């Protein structure tokens, strides 16, 4: 590396200055004082030596200043190489190397600004990616993970720090994903589809793998959409349509069979006619109840998730539902009772919805309790929550069926349910109504001992 021309001139100038000082000032003083030898030749030699010494002294001092300035510049460049710009150049460096110091500081300012802009763009891009509901993973041409967002980490149960730089097929064990990524990276064509991720919870995922364009940016980006809930809702819809079709078809088939029999001549037989007409009436009533329940469910699902709750007097509501079902209970030989509770109790809810809920639960208790049994209504308050319970001493519900009894058309015993005339939608409607008024419902049961349905609501004014 050659020394810049301005440094050569500085060094030469220091030598010249030293020589001028010696010739103009030092030598005349020495001669006047008689300190130099009388011989002219010897004086010239001594003067030359003095000149060289003074020039060397000045030159060394200047070289020391230049060396210090260069070392300071070197330290600043090494820090800049690591992205650190916290060492401004000293005034001495600006004095000794003004051009170099100015250029270096301008370059540092430019690089600092560029780094700040790039960091801002990176942070904004990372924030945008992390705010996406879909998972995003970027890989290079070797299928190593370059970036991934929070959603992708949650979907695949990964830690970003541990996954970055690792092959994607090592972090996500899926031959389907590996083949899609390889196809996108190697052939630069979009790939993807749906896959089931085997995990403790199990997920259905829709993946789209697109290649980066450009030789220097070879790789691919993977966009992952969790469609687990969507597929579950599709299955629920399919089951609902199938069950509703079956439940509607059964009474229609019975009515059609009775009508055809009557048309074929049974209408003239009074006994047969009365029996078939009774069957038609029963099936028509069942069909009407089913259609009403379906319409109730449709209305509930089309309304807002939660209505504005209002104070409801519990005592009047329970008494009204009790009196409405008392005759049915007596006709079946059952004891329908209400346990005493505070008459001034009010809960936050909706009177029509609560009435529908209690009617369904009491009706269920009466249907599935044998003669001689009992159905009991009770209310208790714990803190800010009131619990309305409907208990029976009926046949009970097997434990394995309890998590599903609020599903539409779900029946523990289909034959017995049809015998007692249920539509299979009552408990589903009850659960919807409880959620709409801001409450919760649960059930406990023991086989051949009975069941207890508990509706919890906030106490008004709590």
The string of pLDDT tens digits covering residues 116-153 is: 777 777 778 777 777 788 889 888 888 898 888 888 88
Same domain, 451 and 344: yes
CA distances to 258, 265, 273, 274, 440 from 269, rounded to whole Å, are 13, 8, 6, 9, 54
Asked if the structure places residue 376 within a domain, the reply is: yes
Per-residue pLDDT of 147-201, as tens digits, reads: 888 888 888 888 888 888 888 888 888 888 888 888 888 888 888 888 888 876 7
- Check which CATH number belongs to the domain holding 441 and give it: 3.30.565.10
**Last residue of a domain, which of 302, 337, 364?**
302
Q: Residue 351 corresponds to which tokens in the numbers above?
A: 């009177």
SS (H, E, C) 252-295: HHHHHHHHHHHHCCHHHCHHHHHHHHHHHHHHHHHHHHHHHHHH
Alpha carbon 397 to chain centroid, angstroms: 37
* Separation between Cα atoms, residue 170 and residue 192, nearest integer Å: 18
Listed ranges 40-54, 75-89, 219-233, 398-412; the one with the highest mean pLDDT = 219-233
Per-residue pLDDT of 279-294, as tens digits, reads: 888 888 888 877 877 7
* Domain that residue 238 falls in: 231-302
Q: What is the pLDDT of residue 244?
A: 74
Same domain, 419 and 334: yes
User: 3-state DSSP helix/strand/coil percent for the chain, to nearest 5?
Assistant: 60, 20, 25
Asked if the structure places residue 127 within a domain, the reply is: no
**Last residue of a domain, which of 302, 327, 361?**
302
Q: What is the pLDDT of residue 173?
A: 84
Asked if the structure places residue 124 within a domain, the reply is: no
Same domain, 433 and 376: yes
**Last residue of a domain, which of 207, 226, 245?**
226
Same domain, 205 and 241: no
Listed ranges 230-239, 355-364, 418-427; the one with the highest mean pLDDT = 355-364
- Check which CATH number belongs to the domain holding 146 and give it: 3.30.450.20
Asked if the structure places residue 123 within a domain, the reply is: no
Q: What is the pLDDT of residue 214?
A: 60
What percentage of the chain carries pLDDT values higher than 70?
76
Same domain, 343 and 424: yes
Asked if the structure places residue 120 within a domain, the reply is: no
Same domain, 277 and 327: no
Same domain, 260 and 236: yes
CA distances to 94, 96, 98, 143 from 90, rounded to whole Å, are 7, 10, 11, 48
Asked if the structure places residue 446 within a domain, the reply is: yes
Same domain, 159 and 203: yes
Mean local confidence (pLDDT), 377-396: 90
Same domain, 191 and 247: no
Tell me: pLDDT of 278 over 50: yes
Q: What is the pLDDT of residue 27?
A: 58
Same domain, 237 and 192: no
| Residue 196 DSSP SS3 | strand
Asked if the structure places residue 323 within a domain, the reply is: yes
Same domain, 405 and 383: yes
Q: What is the pLDDT of residue 1?
A: 40
Q: How many residues does the chain have?
A: 462
Asked if the structure places residue 176 within a domain, the reply is: yes
Same domain, 48 and 92: yes
Domain count, the chain: 4
- Check which CATH number belongs to the domain holding 275 and give it: 1.10.287.130
Residue 34 — left, alpha, or beta (φ > 0 → left; ψ -120 to 50 → alpha)? left
* Separation between Cα atoms, residue 27 and residue 43, nearest integer Å: 9
């Amino acid at each position: 590396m050659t020394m810049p021309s301005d440094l050569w001139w500085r060094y030469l100038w220091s030598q010249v200055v030293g020589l001028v000082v010696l010739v103009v000032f030092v030598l005349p003083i020495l001669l006047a004082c008689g300190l130099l030898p009388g011989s002219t030749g010897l004086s010239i030699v001594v003067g030359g030596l003095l000149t060289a010494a003074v020039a060397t002294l000045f030159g060394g001092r200047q070289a020391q200043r230049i060396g210090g300035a260069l070392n300071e510049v070197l330290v600043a460049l090494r820090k800049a190489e690591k992205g650190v710009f916290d060492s401004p150049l000293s005034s001495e460096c600006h004095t000794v190397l003004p051009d170099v110091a100015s250029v270096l500081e301008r370059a540092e300012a430019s690089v600092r600004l560029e780094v700040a802009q790039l960091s801002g763009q990176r942070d904004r891009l990372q924030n945008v990616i992390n705010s996406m509901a879909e998972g995003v993973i970027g890989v290079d041409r070797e299928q190593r993970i370059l970036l991934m967002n929070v959603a992708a980490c949650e979907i695949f149960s990964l830690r970003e720090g541990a996954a970055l730089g690792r092959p994607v097929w090592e972090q996500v064990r899926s031959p389907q994903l590996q083949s899609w990524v390889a196809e996108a990276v190697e052939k630069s064509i979009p790939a993807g589809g749906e896959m089931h991720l085997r995990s403790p919870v199990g997920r259905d995922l829709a993946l789209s793998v697109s290649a980066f364009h450009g030789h220097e940016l070879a790789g691919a980006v993977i966009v992952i959409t969790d469609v687990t809930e969507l597929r579950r809702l599709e299955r629920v819809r399919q089951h609902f349509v199938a069950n509703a079709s079956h439940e509607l078809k059964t009474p229609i088939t019975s009515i059609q069979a009775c009508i055809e029999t009557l048309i074929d001549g049974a209408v003239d037989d009074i006994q047969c006619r009365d029996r078939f007409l009774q069957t038609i009436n029963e099936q028509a009533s069942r069909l009407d109840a089913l259609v009403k329940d379906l319409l109730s469910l449709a209305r509930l699902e089309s309304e807002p998730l939660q209505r504005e709750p209002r104070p409801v007097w519990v005592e009047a509501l329970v008494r009204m539902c009790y009196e409405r079902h008392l005759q049915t209970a007596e006709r079946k030989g059952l004891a329908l009772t209400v346990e005493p509770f505070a008459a001034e109790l009010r809960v936050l809810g909706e009177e029509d919805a609560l009435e529908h809920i209690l009617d369904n639960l009491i009706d269920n208790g009466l249907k599935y309790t044998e003669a001689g049994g009992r159905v009991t209504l009770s209310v208790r308050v714990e803190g800010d929550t009131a619990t309305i319970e409907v208990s029976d001493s009926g046949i009970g519900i097997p434990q394995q069926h309890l998590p599903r009894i609020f599903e539409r058309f779900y029946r523990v015993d289909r034959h017995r349910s049809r015998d007692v005339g249920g539509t299979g939608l009552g408990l589903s409607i009850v659960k919807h109504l409880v959620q709409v008024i801001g409450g919760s419902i649960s059930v406990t049961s023991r086989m051949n001992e009975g069941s207890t349905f508990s509706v919890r609501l906030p106490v008004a004014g709590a």
